[in-house]
Structure 1
Amino acid sequence: MLKQNSAAAHGTQNECELIITRIFNAPRELVFKAWTELNQIEQWWGPAGFTTHVTELDLRPGGQWRYVMVSPDGTEYPAKGVFREIVPPERIVTSDEFDEGFEQVINADLPQGIVMTILLEEMGDKTKLTLQIVHATDEDRRKHEEMGVVAGWNSSFDCLDEFLATQLKHQQDGFTLTLPSDREIAVTRVFNAPRQLVFEAWTKPEHVKRWFGCGSMTMTVCKIDLRVGGCWHYVLYDPSNGTDHGFSGEYREIVPPERLVATERYEPVPNSDHLNTLTLTEQNGKTTLHILIQHQSKEQRDGHLQSGMNVGLQQTLNRLEDLLKSMM
């Protein structure tokens, strides 16, 4: 079932082509980012109930992409392609191939020679998306339809619709997550609180244990030795599976109330050490928090992103926002 704030349709222009359209309640630039940024693609791509891992994304003409959709039962559906044209924020053209192993999973003769074009058209504060799927032959188009491609894309667009609504909400509180380089993640969030209060909430154990963590997790250990060379250690307990999650590190630089540099490791994962730089700037009573996360390699950074850190961090910073309101 489609949402009331969306519209969808599909049809054919010729015997080799499928066209699916949808209107999203989001500006074109936001929709384009959802199609082209690794951390965003993984949060909506695929039918409802599926997850997606982006194993390759080289966003340029001639660059390759590879996504692996994972069904609720754990079955993997790999796909890949080569970008042919990229015109931000209005047009993406790419080949679309079923990667090795896909045919065995669905036990079917797969369509070949697929080229996919995504067109984004501004409609005031909304965006009309037109997905054009061109096949090598009419027979290939028929095979693709029989696989459920139209229903699959419409389900994916439902997921994209929900994701964009969340992104719009994050824009209101100034939350952004970007990838400045192959090894870095940058996070920004605006709080309606003075900088000194945010710094205290970030560095005093009695405050940290009230907001650090996401979902139903609770903090069972919160140790902070706030000095250069001092260490910090947090443990979160997840009641949904009875698992403890340990985090620890060492402070490298402390400049109250504006800057904090520390290492961090996720204790269950070997060689997960990375460097976090927190900066706080205040203007008109509001504080902009910026975190630069520097990993040892692209693979380590991508693993961090694929762990779900985006959603978890958003939830954690929302809890910090609630604490700050209670402290004022």
Structure 2
Amino acid sequence: MAYTSDQPRTSVTLPSDTEIVIERTLQAPPAVVWSAWDSADHLGKWWGPDGFTMTTKSFDFRPGGQWRYVMHGPDGTDYPNLITYLEIDEPNRIVYKLGGDVESEPVNFVTEVEFIVLDDLRTKVTMHMSFPDKEARDFVIREYNAAEGGKQHLANLEAYVNRLDHGREQHEPVVVARVFDAPRSLVWKAWTRQEHLARWFGPKQVELSHCSLDLRVGGMMHYCMVGLGCEEHWGRWIFREISEPDRLVFVVSFADRQGNPARAFFDERWPLEMLTTVTFSEHAGKGKGTLVTMESEPINATDEERGVFYAGRESMRGGWGGTFDKLASFLANNKM
């Protein structure tokens, strides 16, 4: 059986009752790909499915060494994990065992990771997971959504090594993720129907007095946010990519009443344009649901504007956190 992701470079296959194989061709040099695996600092910036973060307790990268860490799910669930490294053959192969500790998650399998050089700029990564029996394999697929999680895992690896390769690690996008207790098709509708957006979009204690949506590449969402003091702040999205039901990409700007981009009311040094990517994926963890991940970064910005943007990272996360609270309430209380 095979699962193919929306990215044709990724596949998940089940060659036998006790195996899962995940493959992806990364657009990155082999040395850069290997470097993402050999330190806790690098691993902590990409390891795991979408929306997960991680805390390393201890890390010893050598045959017989162990990596003890906790995965933090976007729904707040913690997953203690233990990896024991069985073989390290730089730059070709890593073999490790996951599990085998009473304090870790109830899974136990061996993974062989192969790094195959295709050329100077492309590396094929294959993760071959072997389980003690069919029940153990089926358990991680059923309880942890391992097939979808595996695809997200290697996609996150590629995104990270691309930043490393282009020297952009120090400027990671602002990321906000949340798991919603609703099917992905309904969450997509909430983001792509004007009548729905008008009822939930915007930070807490803010409502939209105007919302128009032209959902097409090059189209615009134009809106006006009204706060408690009745002040009006206009904004706009210009759509660059619409891939139902997986992904929206748009350029965000403050705006005037006519929809022209405008400087932020709170700081003239705020970037005029921000590239925002919103992805919708099945939650690869307990409880299922739909994981929505928002990433934002400045574009066409000066060094000063970029500095102001990243200095406001926590404020942005707070604003989007309140917006996601409103979306969760909307999904729970409205039929679509």
Query: TM-score, normalising length from structure 1?
Result: 0.49
* TM-score when normalising by structure 2: 0.48
